[in-house]
Homo-oligomer: A and B are copies of this chain.
Amino acid sequence: MTNIKEIAQFAGVSVSTVSRVLNNHPYVSPDKRESVLQAIDRLNYSRNINAIHLSKGKTNLIGIIIPFTNHPYYGAIVHGITKQANAIGCHIVIFETHYEREKEIQALNMLQMKQLDGIIVCSRISEMKVLLEYQKYGPIILCEDTAQAELSSISIDHYAAFSCALEYVIAKGYKKIGYSLGRKKSRNSFLRTKAFNDIMRNHQLINNKEWQFEGSYHIKDGEQLFQEWNSMMDKPEAIIITNDDTAAGFILTAKKSGITVPNDVAILGFNNDSLSEMLDITTISLPLEWIGKMAVDLFENPEVIKHVKLDYALIKRKSV
């Protein structure tokens, strides 16, 4: 492999001058620039980026912590991140964690060891305390509704979004209402649960713990959810499912058993995936790609810790 030194020799200049040409610095005379360029061409030179990384102390690599790659919700966020990251000359490294602590630590260690310039956390299992420890090694952006002042975050107001969904279901006349979340212990779920409790109390409706489910991520989970619902003696009349895929799974499975939506049970989804459009599922539309874009923006300005909230929208269709 040819290196900068050989180029310098070949071109009859110093390595500094070669470096200047390579980085488009001013103060290089046209003829020297030309001869360097020629040397590069002749010797078929290409820079060793690891040396640059070492020297500059940065890699233009952003780590993304997500539980699953293969999922519309995170897929959309990752897509947004990728687009914006590319726009600022960065690439992304995916850490698919399946909510294993160890995997998250791996990513954080790469930040510490300077292989990553920053990390965007889409969803996590590690305690906030852990993230804060690693903050000194580079910007960590959270895609969650955090109250943590020390880390920038971008999120949807999940309390408000869930409230909006619930109020709509209630306004439609349903009284026995359940919901299904991803993981109960996440920040998002905490806020959604709180919204549910508050609003049900306000309307003096029954808050039945049996109608509260979790583990809704994929289509198949909707099948499972339907089985659970179907086997209950006392069934909720409406379920808010925080994920269109699962909602779709529920509805499609229900149909096979002759249960129709919204006649037998109303379903309200989240995300506004194209699948929900196809199946006419009433849903809350979330600006997922935009979350990704904003996360990168926050990464770019690490000196200002900000907490950005994005808007949501109720998409009225036919499942409620």
In the complex, chain B residues whose CB is within 8 Å of the CB of A53: 50, 53-54, 115
Contact call B78/A223, Cβ cutoff below 8 A:
no
State the Cβ distance, A105 to closest chain B Cβ, in Å: 13
Contact with B along A289-319 (1 / 0, CB 8 A): 0000000000000000000000000000000
Bound-state Cα–Cα, A47 to B115, Å? 10
A69 beta carbon closer than 8 Å to chain B = yes
Contact call B49/A115, Cβ cutoff below 8 A:
yes
State the Cβ distance, A112 to closest chain B Cβ, in Å: 5
Given known pairs A49-B114, A75-B75, A275-B275, the reply for A93 and B61 (CB within 8 Å) is yes
State the Cβ distance, A287 to closest chain B Cβ, in Å: 15
A279: nearest chain-B partner, CB-CB: B252
State the Cβ distance, A178 to closest chain B Cβ, in Å: 21
Bound-state Cα–Cα, A54 to B48, Å? 8
Copy number in the complex reads 2
Which of A49, A274, A279 has the most CB atoms of chain B within a 10 A radius of its CB? Answer: A49
A79 beta carbon closer than 8 Å to chain B = yes
In the complex, chain B residues whose CB is within 8 Å of the CB of A110: 49, 91
Contact call A275/B219, Cβ cutoff below 8 A:
yes
In the complex, chain B residues whose CB is within 8 Å of the CB of A103: 86
A232 beta carbon closer than 8 Å to chain B = no
A16 beta carbon closer than 8 Å to chain B = no
* Residue in B69, B115, B253, B274 whose CB lies within 8 Å of A278: B253
Contact call A93/B96, Cβ cutoff below 8 A:
no
In the complex, chain B residues whose CB is within 8 Å of the CB of A219: 274-275, 278
Contact call A249/B278, Cβ cutoff below 8 A:
yes
Number of interface residues of A (CB under 8 A): 46
Bound-state Cα–Cα, A61 to B94, Å? 11
Contact call B59/A70, Cβ cutoff below 8 A:
no
Which of A248, A252, A278 has the most CB atoms of chain B within a 10 A radius of its CB? Answer: A278
In the complex, chain B residues whose CB is within 8 Å of the CB of A50: 50, 53-54, 57, 59, 114-115
A9 beta carbon closer than 8 Å to chain B = no
Contact call A220/B274, Cβ cutoff below 8 A:
yes
State the Cβ distance, A236 to closest chain B Cβ, in Å: 22
A92 beta carbon closer than 8 Å to chain B = yes
Question: A residues touching B (Cβ–Cβ < 8 Å)?
Answer: 46-51, 53-54, 57, 59, 61, 69-72, 75-76, 78-79, 82, 86, 91-96, 103, 109-110, 112-115, 218-220, 223, 248-249, 252-253, 274-275, 278-279
- List 12 interface pairs A-B (beta carbons < 8 Å), by A numbering: A49-B115, A59-B115, A70-B78, A91-B110, A92-B93, A93-B94, A94-B94, A219-B278, A220-B274, A249-B274, A249-B278, A252-B278
Known: A48-B113, A248-B275. 10 other contacts (CB 8 A): A46-B113, A48-B114, A51-B54, A69-B75, A70-B79, A75-B75, A78-B94, A91-B95, A220-B274, A249-B274
The 7 closest A-B CB pairs, nearest first, are: A70-B75, A49-B113, A50-B53, A50-B54, A252-B278, A219-B274, A49-B115
